[in-house]
Amino acid sequence: MHASQVPSRSGDATHADVIVVGGGLAGMTAAALVARAGRSIVVLEQAQHFGGRAATNVMEGVRFNLGAHALYAGGHACRLFNDLGVPFSGHFPSPGRPLVVSRRGAFRIPSGLRSLVCSSLLSVGEKMSLARLFTTIKRLNTRLLDHVSAQDWIERTAGRGNLALLLGALFRVSTYVADQERLSAGAALDQLRMALADNVLYLDGGWQTLIDGLRKVAADHGAECRTSVRARTVENLTSSVRIHLTDGTELCGGSVILAVPPDTACSLLGMTSDGPLREWLSHQEPVLAACLDIALSRLPRPGDRFALGLDLPTYFSVHSAAARLAADGTAVVHLMKYLRADADEPAAAIEAELEDLLDTVQPGWRPHVVAKRFLPKMTVAHALPRADEGGLAGRPKPSLAGWPNVFVAGDWVGPEGMLADAATASAEQAARCALAVFDDRHAHLIVASQREDVLDGSR
């Protein structure tokens, strides 16, 4: 380990080149990148364990992610994990006979030419329109649709029949967004196109394997990773930052990456209501979902392993059909209802609705429950890519105006991707910014030192 990688101690303060606040996916990605570049780094996580919303919990020997998680095989996160050497194994979903479920019954999802022709879900005209869409979606210039809502694009493309409902369901499953009146069509189509082109991966062992892998990369390169540490405020100095912790101690660093929710970032920085980030946050809505996670000793209908709600924003998938999450024979099932931030639904009613969906797809499941958990309001992402803000381009940049040593990262930051891809892409950009600050400062010191040498020589 190089000496510059080890955080130095002076009195009660610890100094590092970079401090990361937040030990979730974005924070651990940033930490791994900075540490690999040879800079000293300290990671602060307020919880007892690293992971945030990428944590995996074990119940009755079953590994449950916090709701249904899928890694886009063609996305930024997957490429970056491979570049960092983070070990993970994943497999494409194994949907069996995929269904769409509506108030009128269940239908097979047309997933290819044969199933499209045979489907009773769509009219002849709708089948032709869907076939055309599958052939043209690769060529769409989605940037021209960033300011168009997903709902407007669906109605222009498919009218208001079952094809429109099916496209809405496909947008929901690829973005997790229920509010398609505000969702940018450009962002939604990017997600759907990536899913159709490269599919997604369900991960063996759950998403905690990614967090553990990132932490190992960071630690192997000298990072100091601390849990149960809560930051209270961030003080931006002329050429450094000082982090004040709730236990009364302080940490000093050349720069800080705040891999935290946007409201937490504003609070840490003491931003007033008229600050740019606080102003942006005041009209944002998070992406939310209710999650029912269930392990069954057996599936009553082994062939029915995937279903989407057609006229209801619901989802069902057997993740253990593709990923190792429990002992052989145990089925790990995730159900979700995509929620609107402006709706207030009773948790008990949502849970009953998801159990009704499971009754439809897997009748007779109740005697086979091994473990069960209901999460009534999970934050999937902290900001909806809105059409009226230009989609992904409307999100804050990793660098904050007026805060030269402070950078932010997370699924709400930067113009690239959604979900984990946004978290990792912004973390990479924030890490580059932090490293650039260090390099610029180091270059100035070298120049200053050379000038001193010249002056000493002239004397």
| Tokens (6 digits) for 8 | 């130095």
**301: phi then psi, degrees, rounded to nearest 5:** -125, 85
Q: Which residues of the chain have pLDDT under 70?
A: 1-13, 110-118, 440-459
- For the chain, how big is the Rg over CA atoms in Å? 24
pTM of the model: 0.91
3-state secondary structure of 135: helix
Supply the pLDDT for residue 370: 97
Supply the pLDDT for residue 273: 78
Task: For tokens 């890490």, name the residue.
Answer: 431
Supply the pLDDT for residue 134: 85
Supply the pLDDT for residue 80: 98
What is the DSSP code string of 177-245?
---TTTBBHHHHHHHHHHHHHH-EEEETT-THHHHHHHHHHHHHTT-EEESS--EEEEEE-SS-EEEEE
71-72 sheet: strands from edge to edge:
71-72, 200-203, 90-91
**425: phi then psi, degrees, rounded to nearest 5:** -65, -45
Supply the pLDDT for residue 188: 98
What is the DSSP code string of 395-422?
SPPSEETTEEEEEE-STTSSSS-SHHHH
Cβ neighbours of residue 350 closer than 8 Å, sequence gap 6 or more: 290, 337, 339, 376
